[in-house]
Chain A
Amino acid sequence: MKKMEQSDQALVEEGMEASIKKKSKISGSSINGWLFASPWVIGLILFYAFPLFSSIYYSFTTYSILSPGEFIGFSNYKQLMVDGIFWKSIYNTVYFAIFFVPLSIIIGVALAMLLNMRVKGMAVYRTIFFLPTLVPHVALAVLWMWLLNPGFGLVNGVLDAIGLTGPNWLGSVTWSKPSLILMSLWAIGQPVIIYLAGLGDIPQELYEAADVDGASWLQKTFKVTLPLLTPVIFFNLVMGAIGAFQQFTLPYTMTQGQGTPDNSLTFYVMYLYDNAFKYSKMGYASAMAWILFIVIMLLTAVIFISSKRWVHYQGK
């Protein structure tokens, strides 16, 4: 008995020793890990976290990059509420997002389904539809300015040929935003690739089962393909909405930063940029940036909450 007790105690002691050993090993290796990661961690704090949080503070000041400015509480936000161009830029941005995002999903999915058919030379077609994505935004703007030119642009030329008089696309307040939506839809290759991957992920046996049950093509599309594509649509909806709210390069290059005609192409981020770098009102611009951040956060939250109702994951 005594022997047993002794050996038991030894065992317990040994176990304790082992656990101490283990502990010190863990803390040692995590210090090493942190040390190795430290350039990245320091960079993240210094170049992301610090500017991010200081911009909250700056949004309450008259900061202008060159001078630190004074603390003025909520006046930047109050002033924004009565700034006519601010509201106009919100209208333009929301208009663009409301039309562009759903259209890009409908056209993107339709295109992906077309490009998913088993036809000879599909790789070539897929490449063709992806190519516009590779065109830089500035080049895209210049190209479309020529295509949409009311005098000798290709688009109005085609319309003329079928007996229609095309509008002055980019020179008209009514048509400038639809033109921009059209241009943006042209470079839709990225989401199409994601949809294609999503389509490839749908198990073939579901279609076979549907065939056995005598489902038509329409039924298969709406009962099998689309529901199982919803996770991918969900992803593209979130990314598309965020991208639409940050629309900048295309209208900025097209109008040389002016948002012409009559501010109909002044988007939120363009006005933010003007305030920050042209009017040296960085505090005001910071306030705008945080409003945009909150709007995008809320919107994303709404999409996420609603996703429980309409997104169907496989195997659930």
Chain B
Amino acid sequence: MSNSIFHKLMFSFCLVLVMVLAACSSDDEASESASGENTVEFWHSMTDTAGDAVEQVIEEFEKEYPDIDIKATYVANQGEGQNEKLLTAIAGGNPPDVAYFDRFEVATWAAEGSLESLTDLAEEAGISKDDYYDFAWDELIYEGDLYGIPTTTDSRLLFYNRDHFEEVGLDPENPPTTIDELEEAAEKLTIKDGNRFERIGFIPWFAQGSFYSWGWSFGGDFYDPETGEVTADDPKNVEALEWITEFGKKYGVEDIAGFTDSQGSGAMDPFVSGQISMKIDGNFGVASLEKFAPDLNYGVTPIPTPTGDNFKTWSGGWSVVIPKGANNQDGAWEFLKFFGSEEGQKIFSEGSRDFSVIDSVNESLGYTDDPIFSEFINILPESNSRPVMTAGSLYWNALADAVESSTRENGTPKENLEEVTQRVTEALEE
């Protein structure tokens, strides 16, 4: 009798044991095959032309390093404040060896100790700031240490439709340079019917018209890296937001929202369909214009400023990083080096049509000879990068909130920007 209880006990115990073991063993197998000695696991979020370009980079790399095998995985929503999968992978101690990463978040992640420092490796390999654009390199430095290798960059300019300019009697060879000229042109170009826009001249916050674009163009600044002071309420920034608010009031913020809500991207972009005459956009906007509207007669010019000189822009871009706790760091570093090298950059930039972070590569790919691309390249030395700080995402969202609130007349521009300064300062103090 006691025997039978004992048997039952043993049986159920064994059953549980088998189940647990089965679960463990399948885990072991999976991680072994994924992190074999010469396999580098690489997560990226690129599709379309950039996706093809990165495949080419990997192919070339594997040709040169036949003993390293890159296992590339597409991960949707990586970068731009959406890194949940990478976040949990690092927290769980099972990250990829290399991740394609938005440079603007590197400082935040480095501060959390979630990226491997590359300072010593870069020094050994002789990679330094001199190889790249200054702002691209600076975005990867947190408290004196390097946390990634830059791969792409961009800049923002004013796009304008030449045919529309001629139609209303503006000179397409002399696009607006001052804010007053911009406003005047916008007024001439706009065709409004009731509360609907048949065509709108310009919307300050459309496409890449984020507040960073305007603050810098008005001569303001956002952050002092020396003192760590947040200056969202810089008087020049306030001036910029006051202008944006006035602009919104003049054309009707809700009517503009009605217009922008009806627009799409790609072939549905209002600049492609001729429903907007001027917009702020990046060089990545050129590729879609080439694809969807090859005959569009347009030009690009620096973002107008109050004085008509001291043109400014800002640049973002991507990098490759090694997440903390990656298994194959040696292999990962070889791949990072190759991706950031002149050779890797040439392959990637040519395929993706994204700007390289190396000046000579952009030149050798003919970007400086192209009438449109050269404008973007020429302004890069004057370019800013978003503040390198641990609250980068918060700052970005808070500024977007301030523009929304001000244009909706919920608080004055000054009040709203003061609130941004306060919010971000508090977050930095934590």
Given A32-B12, A66-B91, A170 and B404 touching (CB < 8 A)? no
User: Bound state CA distance, A262 and B260, in angstroms?
Assistant: 15
Q: Which B residues, 243 to 263, have Cβ-Cβ distances below 8 Å to chain A? A: 254-255, 257-262
B417 → chain A closest CB, angstroms = 14
Please state if B113 and A151 are interface contacts (CB–CB under 8 Å): no
A159 → chain B closest CB, angstroms = 13
User: Bound state CA distance, A267 and B408, in angstroms?
Assistant: 19
Apart from the given pairs A66-B87, A274-B397, A281-B427, 7 other A-B contacts in the complex at a CB distance below 8 Å: A66-B109, A66-B114, A151-B258, A168-B261, A258-B400, A261-B257, A262-B404
Number of A-B contacts (CB under 8 A): 98
Chain A positions within 8 Å of B87 at CB level: 65-66, 277
Interface check A38, CB cutoff 8 A: yes
Chain A positions within 8 Å of B394 at CB level: 278-279
Given A261-B404, A280-B108, A150 and B258 touching (CB < 8 A)? yes
Q: What is the chain B residue whose CB lies nearest that of A274?
A: B397
User: Bound state CA distance, A277 and B83, in angstroms?
Assistant: 8
Please state if A172 and B12 are interface contacts (CB–CB under 8 Å): no
* Most A CB within 10 A of own CB, among B8, B196, B430: B430
Please state if A149 and B262 are interface contacts (CB–CB under 8 Å): yes
Please state if B12 and A62 are interface contacts (CB–CB under 8 Å): no
Interface check B84, CB cutoff 8 A: yes
Interface check A163, CB cutoff 8 A: no
Chain A positions within 8 Å of B114 at CB level: 66
B270 → chain A closest CB, angstroms = 11
Interface check A171, CB cutoff 8 A: yes
23 A-B pairs with CB atoms under 8 Å apart are A24-B5, A36-B12, A39-B19, A65-B87, A66-B91, A66-B112, A66-B114, A66-B324, A84-B419, A145-B261, A150-B262, A151-B259, A167-B254, A168-B255, A168-B261, A171-B258, A171-B260, A262-B401, A262-B404, A277-B84, A278-B397, A279-B394, A280-B108
Interface check B36, CB cutoff 8 A: no
Interface check B294, CB cutoff 8 A: no
Chain B positions within 8 Å of A167 at CB level: 254
Q: Which B residues, 102 to 159, have Cβ-Cβ distances below 8 Å to chain A? A: 108-109, 112-114
Interface check B393, CB cutoff 8 A: yes
Please state if A32 and B9 are interface contacts (CB–CB under 8 Å): yes
Q: At the interface, is chain B mostly helix, strand, loop or mixed? A: helix
B317 → chain A closest CB, angstroms = 20
A259 → chain B closest CB, angstroms = 9
Please state if B12 and A168 are interface contacts (CB–CB under 8 Å): no
Interface check A54, CB cutoff 8 A: no
A85 → chain B closest CB, angstroms = 8
Give the 7 A-B CB pairs with smallest separation, nearest first: A171-B257, A150-B258, A66-B112, A151-B262, A35-B12, A262-B408, A168-B258
Interface residues on A, range: 35 or more
A282 → chain B closest CB, angstroms = 10
B 330-356 binary contact with A (CB < 8 Å = 1; else 0):
000000000000000000000000000
User: Bound state CA distance, A150 and B259, in angstroms?
Assistant: 8
User: Bound state CA distance, A171 and B203, in angstroms?
Assistant: 15
B240 → chain A closest CB, angstroms = 19
Q: Which B residues, 345 to 402, have Cβ-Cβ distances below 8 Å to chain A? A: 391, 393-394, 397, 400-401
Interface check B81, CB cutoff 8 A: yes
Q: Which residues of B pack against A, CB within 8 Å? A: 5, 8-9, 12-13, 15-16, 19, 81-84, 87-88, 90-91, 108-109, 112-114, 195-196, 254-255, 257-262, 324, 391, 393-394, 397, 400-401, 404-405, 408, 410, 419, 426-427, 430
User: Bound state CA distance, A150 and B8, in angstroms?
Assistant: 70
User: Bound state CA distance, A168 and B408, in angstroms?
Assistant: 14
A26 → chain B closest CB, angstroms = 11
Q: Which of A62, A66, A84 makes the CB contact (< 8 A) with B90?
A: A66
* Most A CB within 10 A of own CB, among B261, B405, B410, B426: B261
Q: Which A residues, 20 to 49, have Cβ-Cβ distances below 8 Å to chain B? A: 24, 28, 31-32, 35-36, 38-39
Please state if B404 and A35 are interface contacts (CB–CB under 8 Å): no
Given A262-B405, A279-B427, A28 and B8 touching (CB < 8 A)? yes
Chain A positions within 8 Å of B410 at CB level: 173, 262
Interface check A204, CB cutoff 8 A: no
Please state if A263 and B401 are interface contacts (CB–CB under 8 Å): yes
Interface check A246, CB cutoff 8 A: no
Please state if B257 and A172 are interface contacts (CB–CB under 8 Å): yes
Q: Which of B13, B112, B261, B404 makes the CB contact (< 8 A) with A263?
A: B404
* Most A CB within 10 A of own CB, among B15, B16, B108, B258: B258
Please state if A280 and B405 are interface contacts (CB–CB under 8 Å): no
Interface check A225, CB cutoff 8 A: no
User: Bound state CA distance, A31 and B10, in angstroms?
Assistant: 11
A58 → chain B closest CB, angstroms = 13
Interface check A64, CB cutoff 8 A: yes
A 55-67 binary contact with B (CB < 8 Å = 1; else 0):
0000000101111
User: Bound state CA distance, A149 and B264, in angstroms?
Assistant: 12
Q: Which A residues, 265 to 284, have Cβ-Cβ distances below 8 Å to chain B? A: 274, 277-281
Chain B positions within 8 Å of A38 at CB level: 16
User: Bound state CA distance, A67 and B390, in angstroms?
Assistant: 14
Chain B positions within 8 Å of A280 at CB level: 108, 112
A279 → chain B closest CB, angstroms = 5
A 150-182 binary contact with B (CB < 8 Å = 1; else 0):
111000000000000101101111000000000
Given A66-B91, A66-B112, A262-B410, A172 and B254 touching (CB < 8 A)? yes
Please state if B405 and A150 are interface contacts (CB–CB under 8 Å): no
Please state if A260 and B404 are interface contacts (CB–CB under 8 Å): yes
Q: Which of B112, B258, B259 makes the CB contact (< 8 A) with A64?
A: B112
Chain A positions within 8 Å of B430 at CB level: 62, 281
Chain B positions within 8 Å of A64 at CB level: 112
